[in-house]
Structure 1
Amino acid sequence: MRKAPLVSILMPTYNYAKFIAHSIESALGQDLGDIELIISDNASTDNTQAVVAPYLADPRVRYHRNAENIGMTPNYNRCYELMHPDSRYVIILPADDWWEPNMLSKLVAIAEADPELTFVHCAGYKVDPEGKPLFEYMDLFAHLPSVGKHRALKELYRNNYIFAQTVLQRRSLFEQYKPYPHLYRLGFNYAPDYMLWVDIMNRGAVGYYLPEKLAYFREHPQSHTIDKNIIPRLREEVRIFETAAESCPPELEAERIANLRSRMLALAQRLLKADQEEEAKEILVKAARLDPNPSLGIRIAHFIANLPLSRGIRSKLWELAENLAFRARRSPA
């Protein structure tokens, strides 16, 4: 059997032939060389296989191609199944993103110095399809963990500050806190990483935040994070906070409910703008039932959803409710 690497790098891909070479070279070019790179090709219809072929000369690279497309989350899980069973750490590098050459060595050094850490993560940039930086990724979030060792669960409930492409997981602890054998919960396709972080941190995982910008997250028309996917993503965030009830620490139950309500309101707003009024009304009713004294944002949203007005007029009124909800989500408790 091949020697266990220190770090397993998982690279799921689908039709990313134009990006994947850059990502592979980023992984293989790390100044920490004790790695394996697991590429799981989800039955790409472009020339991904041909682009990957020259890199297979490096014994650290393993390539697997699914016979048919199995879906995004199952393909991430397939990568997880294919890695060496005894590597110490695991990290994900999507086939359209890349790292600074010293990222792994910095994260591993922190993890090696403190055996209590389940994961180490850092900052980075969001970039355009050509790789030009647009802004610092962490600027997206109003609630961040403290620098260094943390259990910033309240902040995680309020926004997903964990930059998935930078998360180095210590497998021994990760497996203890993760309540399923695979990497991601099945059924989550737009926010599976967020569900995972909530799952493991609810159960006691300890993180470490390094504020150095060492990774690049590319946004392009195939990205799951683009605006056209906001409704399915918000649906999943609602499910995340419903699912979190099974493991939420008692002292954070009120916070979980508050964040479930805020996601419901945001989802209802988007649904109404998309002319999906019936689902919007159902969501608003559920949100109101979570609180015997519904917030002003929910009451306004519910009122607008039931107005017998044109879509254009309701959309203008909806902006008022959306602004209220946005301010509520960003304001500290």
Structure 2
Amino acid sequence: MKQVPEITVLMPAYNAAKYIAAAVESVLNQSFGNFELLVINDGSSDDTEWIVKNFADERIKIINQPHQGIAAALNIGLLNAAAPLIARFDADDICYPDRLQIQYDFFKANPEYVLTGSDVDYADHNSEYLYHYSNIGHTHKEINDRIGTFCPFIHSSVMYKKDIALTIGGYDAKAHTFEDYRLWIKFITKGKVCNTKKPLIMVRLNPESVTVDEKLRGKRFGILKKEMLFADNISKEQEEELLEILHSQNFMRFKNYSYNILIAKKYLWNNYQPAKARSSVRRAINFMPFQTTGYGLFILSCLPQKFVHRFYKKYKLLTGA
């Protein structure tokens, strides 16, 4: 008789052929074995489906659907998940070997919790280590106090109770790029949440990812996001305005520019290596030479480390970054 899984690892995938094999391997190599890996292939036009199907492991399930976006893919996954616990994971990240065991043991020992995440390590598209990220809060109180100012969880690090996610309506497909943040705001009303300080995954930054430095999306994006995060219902007008902003930036030149700006910032703010920061800035400027951010970062990369860190502290105070 087939064992019922304790955990569903939920992985949406869209044109993820470049990285998905490593992501799947990191799940299959977990010290905790009683899981299913549910891959929602969201209309990929590359070899994503073929790569996943070439893994000979009965714990892998794949659902193919026309491209509908990450929120729709995740909601399909929630409806088809066989386990009571959902471990979110992205197709370009890497799970550390004990990730599932640590989070499973936590839920068994703390039934009052509905969601747990972790700190993470970041790497670039070549898997080169960038920096360690510590979340804005780790205890329930810290997260509850700060959830209004910044997203308190790294999406692909979280494990949560499926029944709670379904009860609160799953991911809001209108909250494009921050559907996870909106879900956490609802989750925290249903029970306790936390983050572990131990990093459980490696998040890979790459130009193809939806991860973009939101400061580059413009002031209106930030205002609109804040309005939509805490709205009872997102209006059609709000969604249309948000989509207009996102569509205007949905081209590879902007994505490559944004990626290299983000990498440069990490090599200045989080893992001081000015030469690497300058290399990323040069690439960013090549993609979008008329944007001023790259030139400012280039100047900073030539200044002493103490000055750069003082600048960053003031920058955080002004922007809340």
Q: Kindly indicate whether the alpha-carbon contact (under 8 Å) linking 1:145 and 1:155 is maintained by their aligned counterparts in 2.
A: no
Query: How many angstroms apart in 2 are the aligned matches of 1:9 and 1:234?
Result: 35
Q: Secondary structure at the match of 1:106?
A: helix
Task: Report how far residue 33 of structure 1 moved.
Answer: 0.4
Q: Normalising to structure 1: TM-score of the pair?
A: 0.66
In the alignment, is residue 51 of structure 1 matched against residue 44 of structure 2? no
Q: Kindly indicate whether the alpha-carbon contact (under 8 Å) linking 1:125 and 1:134 is maintained by their aligned counterparts in 2.
A: yes
Partner of 2:42: 42
Structure 1 unmatched runs, 5+? 248-266, 272-310, 317-322
- Going from structure 1 to structure 2, the CA distance change for 1:209 and 1:234 (only over 3 Å counts) comes to farther
Q: Secondary structure at the match of 1:105?
A: helix
Partner of 1:199: 186
Q: Kindly indicate whether the alpha-carbon contact (under 8 Å) linking 2:181 and 2:229 is maintained by their aligned counterparts in 1.
A: no
Q: Secondary structure at the match of 2:38?
A: strand
Task: Report how far residue 160 of structure 1 moved.
Answer: 1.2
In our comparison, the structure showing a higher alpha carbon Rg is 1
Q: Kindly indicate whether the alpha-carbon contact (under 8 Å) linking 2:75 and 2:171 is maintained by their aligned counterparts in 1.
A: yes
Q: Secondary structure at the match of 1:238?
A: helix
1:1-333 pair list within 5 angstroms: 3-55=3-55, 57-66=56-65, 68-84=66-82, 87-138=83-134, 143-146=136-139, 149-150=140-141, 152-176=143-167, 178=168, 180=169, 183-201=170-188, 203-227=189-213, 230-231=216-217, 235=221, 238-244=224-230, 246=232, 326-330=316-320
Letter of the 2:137 partner, please give it.
L
Task: Report how far residue 245 of structure 1 moved.
Answer: 5.1
Q: Kindly indicate whether the alpha-carbon contact (under 8 Å) linking 2:12 and 2:41 is maintained by their aligned counterparts in 1.
A: yes
- Going from structure 1 to structure 2, the CA distance change for 1:232 and 1:167 (only over 3 Å counts) comes to farther
- Going from structure 1 to structure 2, the CA distance change for 1:234 and 1:4 (only over 3 Å counts) comes to farther
Q: Normalising to structure 2: TM-score of the pair?
A: 0.68
Structure 2 unmatched runs, 5+? 234-244, 250-290, 297-312
Q: Secondary structure at the match of 1:221?
A: coil
Task: Report how far residue 118 of structure 1 moved.
Answer: 0.6
Q: Kindly indicate whether the alpha-carbon contact (under 8 Å) linking 1:151 and 1:206 is maintained by their aligned counterparts in 2.
A: no
Partner of 2:266: none
- Going from structure 1 to structure 2, the CA distance change for 1:228 and 1:109 (only over 3 Å counts) comes to closer
- Going from structure 1 to structure 2, the CA distance change for 1:174 and 1:69 (only over 3 Å counts) comes to closer
- Going from structure 1 to structure 2, the CA distance change for 1:330 and 1:49 (only over 3 Å counts) comes to closer
CA offsets 1:251-287 (integer angstroms, 9 cap, x no match): xxxxxxxxxxxxxxxx9xxx9xxxxxxxxxxxxxxxx
Q: Secondary structure at the match of 1:158?
A: coil
Task: Report how far residue 194 of structure 1 moved.
Answer: 0.8
Q: Kindly indicate whether the alpha-carbon contact (under 8 Å) linking 1:8 and 1:91 is maintained by their aligned counterparts in 2.
A: yes
Task: Report how far residue 48 of structure 1 moved.
Answer: 1.4
Query: How many angstroms apart in 2 are the aligned matches of 1:153 and 1:93?
Result: 23
- Going from structure 1 to structure 2, the CA distance change for 1:222 and 1:234 (only over 3 Å counts) comes to farther
Aligned CA RMSD, in angstroms, stands at: 3.2
